[in-house]
């Protein structure tokens, strides 16, 4: 279901050229959304998400002082399950401006709920697509998190792959830094001093979404993108599932076989739990509890 960067390139370019300047709105029509419990997931493909992101970055580059931070959050079965048990995480997800289907489970659920999403949007590929366009537009990127050395290696790889990509900085803070106010503030200060346009946060869910949402106002960036393990994969520290697994919707099974101790609970217990959530919501059809994010006005 995923679409490669090579096939998306022309579509992204044509979408950007055809979109009138100043016409971007973060509010999506009800018809453009698939509600799964309390999650309003946009029925957007990768090209459409990148188009929105680049248009937002262009608009923000012309502003001074107050600006909007665009949050782009991926949703999969684990995310939906975590929201049921973690109110702080649920509040963080509420700040999302674009919630996209980063799991085949979400795509299948959308069909069951009668609001089909055309394709899965893999978070790693989306992050790289945004970086590719950022290189063309001279927007800067800051990489935070990942395994030791992963952010730096990922930045070097993407810089060589997309000439012109401006890396504002990389940082792999100590494990648990977000629980220590002084260390967390130091990370915020370093990012703010670097003045990136885009911040990619790879701390794992729910930590990355919570930290991003709670520190967004102080960071002074135009776009925040939680990226999971994307730095580790790009740096070669974690093995990505082969194309056949990604394209067949069985990446979750491949990952569980490769890392059973770490992932068996997430998939063997989490997937049935998500399925129950979907059918329960389908039966009840509760009214949306989470509004779609409209961006937050903060001072640079």
Report the first-to-last Cα separation within the chain, whole angstroms: 38
What ranges in the chain are assigned the alpha helix state H?
Answer: 5-18, 46-61, 77-85, 87-93, 104-112, 123-137, 150-161, 181-194, 207-219, 230-234, 243-248, 251-258, 260-264, 270-284
Looking at residue 29, what is its pLDDT?
56
In 10 A of CB 175, how many CB atoms? Answer: 9
> Between the CA of residue 97 and those of 55, 112, 156, 298, what are the distances in Å?
14, 24, 29, 15
User: How is residue 200 written in tokens?
Assistant: 């990619």
Looking at residue 20, what is its pLDDT?
34
Q: Which of 223, 205, 178 is nearest to 52 (CA)?
A: 223
Measured between alpha carbons, how far is 101 from 45 in angstroms, rounded to an integer? Answer: 9
pLDDT, tens digit (0-9, with 9 covering 90-100), for 109-158:
999 999 999 999 999 999 999 999 999 999 999 999 999 999 999 999 99
Q: Which of 299, 281, 283 is nearest to 81 (CA)?
A: 281
> Between the CA of residue 281 and those of 39, 46, 217, 284, 286, what are the distances in Å?
11, 27, 33, 5, 7
pLDDT, tens digit (0-9, with 9 covering 90-100), for 40-65:
999 999 999 999 999 999 999 887 66
Residue 9 has pLDDT above 60, yes or no: no
Contact, 129 vs 227, CB < 8 A?
no
Q: CB pairs under 8 A, 24+ apart, for 210-215?
A: 210/88, 210/89, 210/92, 210/178, 211/178, 211/184, 212/71, 212/92, 213/71, 213/91, 213/92, 213/93, 213/95, 214/92, 215/184, 215/188
Looking at residue 198, what is its pLDDT?
98
Looking at residue 241, what is its pLDDT?
87
Residue 294 has pLDDT above 70, yes or no: no
Q: Which of 23-27, 43-47, 64-68, 75-79 has the lowest average pLDDT?
A: 23-27
User: How is residue 154 written in tokens?
Assistant: 């990922």
pTM tops 0.75, yes or no: yes
């Amino acid at each position: 279901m995923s679409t490669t960067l090579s096939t998306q390139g022309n579509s992204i370019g044509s979408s950007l050229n055809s979109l009138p300047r100043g016409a971007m709105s973060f509010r999506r029509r009800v018809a453009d959304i698939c509600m799964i419990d309390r999650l309003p997931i946009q029925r957007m493909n990768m090209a459409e998400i990148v188009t929105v992101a680049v248009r937002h970055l262009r608009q923000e580059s012309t502003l001074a002082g107050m600006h909007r931070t665009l949050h782009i959050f991926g949703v999969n079965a684990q995310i939906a399950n975590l929201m049921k048990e973690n109110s702080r995480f649920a509040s963080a997800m509420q700040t999302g401006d674009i919630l996209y289907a980063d799991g085949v489970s979400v795509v299948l659920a959308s069909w069951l709920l009668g609001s089909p999403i055309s394709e899965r949007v893999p978070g790693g590929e989306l992050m790289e697509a945004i970086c590719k366009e950022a290189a063309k537009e001279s927007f800067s990127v800051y990489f935070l998190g990942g395994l030791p050395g992963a952010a730096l290696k990922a930045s070097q790889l993407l810089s060589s792959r997309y000439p012109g990509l401006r890396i504002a900085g990389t940082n792999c803070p100590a494990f648990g830094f977000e629980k220590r106010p002084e260390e967390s503030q130091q990370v915020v200060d370093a990012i703010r001093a670097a003045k990136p346009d885009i911040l990619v946060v790879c701390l794992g869910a729910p930590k990355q979404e919570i930290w991003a949402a709670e520190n967004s106002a102080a960071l002074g960036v135009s776009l925040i993108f939680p990226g999971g393990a994307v730095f580790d994969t790009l740096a070669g520290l974690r093995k990505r599932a082969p194309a056949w697994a990604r394209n067949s919707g069985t990446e979750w099974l491949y990952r569980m076989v490769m890392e059973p101790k770490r992932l068996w609970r997430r998939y063997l217990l989490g997937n049935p739990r998500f399925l129950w959530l979907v059918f329960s919501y389908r039966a009840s059809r509760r009214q949306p509890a989470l509004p779609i994010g409209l961006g937050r006005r903060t001072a640079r």
